[in-house]
Structure 1
Amino acid sequence: MKKGKEAMLTDSMNGFKEKKINYNDYEVSFRRWLISMIDSEKISIQEARNRFQLSPTEYKKIIKRWQERYSDELHLSLQAMSSKARADNKKLEQRIKELEKQLDLAQMKNVALNTMIDIAENDYKLEIRKKSGPKQ
């Protein structure tokens, strides 16, 4: 066969070899952060691959392995409170303070009434409280 222009093309991929990445070089804190971002859907797997230059052929396997190791069973994501939610929160805090004051007053009233009953039972020999058990 005659070797023409076709012979110029080679099967050699010297200039196109994929650079090997050592995924153990990534810190555990970075791995946890990345998996939490992916799990909370703040970043997609493809965005993570592009942004952090993960291997185009191995990135799914790497991320899956990291998810098995570092993913939390319970995913919590805190959202910023809206102004309405903050206003509702302040109203609830005020209501709690009012109820605490009412509770303090009720407790003081209870102590005063018990003290009054104790004095009446001791000084006037009255049986105001019901005796518990069979001694009635």
Structure 2
Amino acid sequence: MENQEETGYVKRTQKDYTMSFKLQIVQEIERGSISISQVKKDYCIQSRSTIVQWLRKFGKFDWENQTPSNMSKSPEQRIMEFESKVKLLEKQKAFVEQRAFVADKKTIIFDMMIDIAEKEYQIEIRKNSSPEQSTILKKKINKQYYLPVICSG
């Protein structure tokens, strides 16, 4: 077995790297001037996951949503984004219009059913009273059916 001094391999931890070094590496990778594997080789960083961890902590990429968070978008990207939003809104509008159409048809059918029932059974289903009349009527009905409670003791 060779010892660490002979191979030039020194085991490092996250704490061995300075914050400025980590930020410099992240900036270089995000600019595209160097790849993760090249950083690993050039700076003798033992694990790719160490570099990825730095990118997650200090980078501008939103790893949860898989989108760059602070990176500016090109005009073409913005146009494509807006076009996809327009398509989504058009689909939603068509869906809402379809639901409104169905609701209108249901209203027409229900009105027809009420008309048929009124004609068939010769009763008035629709009340033609205004809201004022209905509240006055309720008061009269409540007074007529009020039964006092008599307690016998």
TM-score by length of 2: 0.35
Indicate the structure whose relative CO is greater, using CA pairs within 8 Å and at least 6 residues apart.
1
